[in-house]
Amino acid sequence: MITVNLVNWSEKDPIEAISHAARVCYQGTAPEWGKTIDIKGRLFETGHHTTFQHVFCTFNIEGIAVGDVTFGLHLASPFYNSSQRSGRFCAGMFTNPDFELLASYVKNYWPEVEGEVLINVLEYLKDSIDVYRSNIEKAAERAKKFIREERPNANDKYLEQNGPKIAQEQLRVFVPIIFPTALEFTVNLSVLAALYRSAWSPVMKDVTEKMVGLVLRKWPGLDFMFERQENPGFLFPAVRGYVGLERVVKKPYIKLISSGEFNSFVRPETEDLHPIDLLHFSPWLMDNNTSAIETHIEISIATMGQDQRHRTVRRSQPYFTGGFYLPPIPDSLGLEKEAMQLMERWHFLIMKKIPPTLAHILAPYGAMVGYKRSASYNAAIHELGKRLCWCAQEEIYHLARTLRRQLKKHPIVNVMSPNCVLTGKCGEGVRYCGRDLTRLKNDPFPERKV
Question: What is the fold of 3-90+179-225?
Answer: Gyrase A; domain 2 (3.30.1360)
> Residue type for 104, please?
S
Segments of the chain assigned to CATH 3.30.1360.170: 3-90+179-225, 96-177+236-450
Residue 402 phi/psi, 5-degree rounding, is -65, -45
pLDDT at residue 86, as a whole number? 82
Distance CA 401, CA 431 (A): 21
Question: What is the fold of 96-177+236-450?
Answer: Gyrase A; domain 2 (3.30.1360)
Q: 228 versus 280: which is more confidently predicted?
A: 280
Q: If residue 376 lies in a helix (H) or strand (E), which one and from where to where? A: strand 367-376
Q: Is the pLDDT of residue 17 over 60?
A: yes
pLDDT at residue 336, as a whole number? 97
List, in sequence order, every residue forming a beta bridge with 315; answer none if it has no partner: 373
The lowest-confidence range among 141-150, 151-160, 192-201, 345-354 is 345-354
| Percent of the chain residues past pLDDT 70, beyond the cut | 96
pLDDT tens digits for 128-163?
999 999 999 999 999 999 999 999 999 999 999 999
Q: Is the pLDDT of residue 364 over 70?
A: yes
Distance CA 335, CA 332 (A): 8
> Residue type for 330, please?
P
CB atoms within 10 A of CB 265: 19
Cα dist from 152 to 144, 206, 234, whole Å: 11, 49, 52
List, in sequence order, every residue forming a beta bridge with 188; answer none if it has no partner: 56
Its pTM stands at: 0.94
For the chain, the average pLDDT equals 93
Distance CA 14, CA 56 (A): 9
Among residues 297, 296, 294, 295, which one has the least CA distance to residue 261? 294
Mean pLDDT of 398-419: 94
Q: Is the pLDDT of residue 350 over 80?
A: no
pLDDT tens digits for 301-318?
999 999 999 999 999 999
Distance CA 312, CA 310 (A): 6
Pairing of strands 319-325, 247-249: parallel
| 242 neighbors 322 (Cβ within 8 angstroms) | yes
| 394 neighbors 115 (Cβ within 8 angstroms) | no
| 173 neighbors 364 (Cβ within 8 angstroms) | yes
Among residues 226, 203, 228, which one has the least CA distance to residue 215? 226
Distance CA 282, CA 90 (A): 39
